Amino acid sequence: MELRKNYFADERKDDLNEIGHSRPRSDAPGHVTGKTVYFADRTFPDLLHLKMVRSPHHHAKIRSIDTSEAEKHPGVIRVLTAKDVPHNVYTILILIQVGPEDETVLADKKVSWKGEAVVAVVATSERAAQEAAAKVKVDYEVLPAVFDVLEALKPDAPEVNEHHPGNYYHYDSGDHRKVRFGDVQAGFAAADHILEETYSSSPIEQAPTETTGCIVAPEGNDRFTCYTNTQAMFFTLDNASIILQMPGHKLHMVGGTVGGGFGGKVDVIVEPIAILAAKLTGRPVSFIYSREEEMQISSPRAAETITIKDGVTKDGRLIARQVTGYTDAGAYSRHSPYGAQKGAAHYPGPYTVPNVWIDTYCVYTNRTPSSAMRGFGVTIADFALEVQMDKLARLIGMDPLEFRFINAYRDGDMKAHRQPTEGAALIECMQEAARVSGWPVAQKYLDMSSRTREA
């Protein structure tokens, strides 16, 4: 890596004692010698292991659940079903009034995705828990399922989740989040070329080295310590408190160094049920995803489908942009409604477009619930936007990098979601990229600045 100190030198102090200096990480020796303690390195006497019975169907009614054989299995201490969970229907952000609560900790009436948790088995070994889980009998009535966002929005589509009629997330703005800026129809009318293209992605896995999990130990004073690799300690504490109807002071979350997250450990899935199991058994309980569960059960990045319609002048000005974005939330919200909303603000990209019309939809399907992942709400948008920019440049016969210089935002430009641009540096990044790659651009672009706009 090379620092390019010549850019913005007058805006910085480069003579600080600690900031701006490469110091070795204090935890690096522990990492490279294998001595760093992760949550699962802790051992407890009488530790119990929790395994989940999961739905084999994408969408089904639960007619009955029979746990009698599992309960008799050697080593099984307790079998948990929905009736054991004090507040079984939850959503992660309800503490800050983002609802509705739409997901069950343990399903009782219906499952809406393949892999949904139905029954938790707690036993003296992982193997006993696994074997007992296989003995739980769930009688399902399979329902029609929908896997595609556009199919899910059709009037006769199966209802994925009763809390989201029409399979949309309902914002205060209706079934989608809007951004309206300028007059997009006038922009298209004035354009020399219009290009409308659709982009899509499939879900991907965060793939942290350390799988999601926790170990809960009763403290003996009616408090529970939960050693967890969550990315958000108080999301976990608050949600466990709500789900278990336990006052917050009964809960103690201990985290620390985590073996990667990339957004996959922002949801609160393993901790509440493990705390409940520890409470009901009076013993420490471990609930750790296998690699297969991490790959198949944990929330992936949402699939997205994005249609971009742009109006551009023959001299390279992007003058109108209309975007329709669909985020596949899977069966439940988790954080997806926020991801779709974040995308709405992002779609003009780092460009100044005078006329913008954006609609983003968060849609429910019978797929694994998606949630946060590195670049949440933005990564797929950037793919779509920057491929679109390339196509636009070629459509008007302009160099792709020069086309971006013409449209790049500068300080003071108003963005479509009505925030003035501050601290812009796109032009300088492109100038440096042109230099280091030997990508030829006209001198006038190398003379530009993010701080000023030429008259």
Q: Which of 41, 66, 192, 439 binds other proteins (CB under 8 A)?
A: 439
Q: What is the largest CA-CA distance in the chain?
A: 82
Contacts of 18 (CB under 8 A, 6+ apart): none
Residues numbered 312-341 forming contacts with other proteins, rule: CB under 8 A: 338, 341
Contacts of 140 (CB under 8 A, 6+ apart): 55, 56, 57, 60, 61, 62, 63, 111
Between 82 and 384, CB nearer to other proteins:
384
Q: Which of 19, 43, 155, 220 binds other proteins (CB under 8 A)?
A: 19
Question: Within 10 A of 234 (CB to CB), how many other CB atoms are there?
Answer: 12
Q: Burial-class residue 332 by CB neighbours within 10 Å (0-12, 13-18, 19+).
A: buried
Q: Which of 44, 75, 108, 147 binds other proteins (CB under 8 A)?
A: 147
- Min dist CB 275 to other proteins, Å, is 13
Q: Choose the binding region for other proteins from 49-57, 269-277, 312-320, 420-428 (rule: CB under 8 A).
A: 420-428
Query: Does 342 help bind other proteins (rule: CB under 8 A)?
Result: yes
Query: Does 425 help bind other proteins (rule: CB under 8 A)?
Result: yes
Between 93 and 143, CB nearer to other proteins:
93
Query: Does 33 help bind other proteins (rule: CB under 8 A)?
Result: no
CA–CA dist 401, 429 (Å, integer)? 11
CB 119 within 8 A of CB 79: yes
Query: Does 93 help bind other proteins (rule: CB under 8 A)?
Result: yes
Which amino acid, one-letter code, is at 308?
A: I
Sheet with strand 318-330: strands edge to edge? 177-181, 356-364, 318-330, 304-312
Between 84 and 294, CB nearer to other proteins:
294
Query: Does 280 help bind other proteins (rule: CB under 8 A)?
Result: no
Two tokens at 414? 């108003």
Query: Does 77 help bind other proteins (rule: CB under 8 A)?
Result: no
- Min dist CB 308 to other proteins, Å, is 10
Residues pairing with 103 in the sheet: 90
- Min dist CB 172 to other proteins, Å, is 5
CA–CA dist 52, 60 (Å, integer)? 17
Between 231 and 355, CB nearer to other proteins:
231
Q: Which of 72, 83, 98, 142 binds other proteins (CB under 8 A)?
A: 98
Between 70 and 303, CB nearer to other proteins:
303
- Min dist CB 67 to other proteins, Å, is 26
Two tokens at 110? 């219906």
Residues numbered 167-186 forming contacts with other proteins, rule: CB under 8 A: 171-174, 177-181
Give me the phi and psi of 230, to 5 degrees please: -60, 155
Angle between helices 270-281 and 233-244 (to 10 degrees): 50
Contacts of 259 (CB under 8 A, 6+ apart): 38, 208, 209, 210, 229
Residues numbered 186-215 forming contacts with other proteins, rule: CB under 8 A: 197-205, 207
Residues numbered 388-407 forming contacts with other proteins, rule: CB under 8 A: 389-391, 400-401, 404
- Min dist CB 269 to other proteins, Å, is 15
Query: Does 166 help bind other proteins (rule: CB under 8 A)?
Result: no
Total number of residues that touch other proteins (CB under 8 A): 128
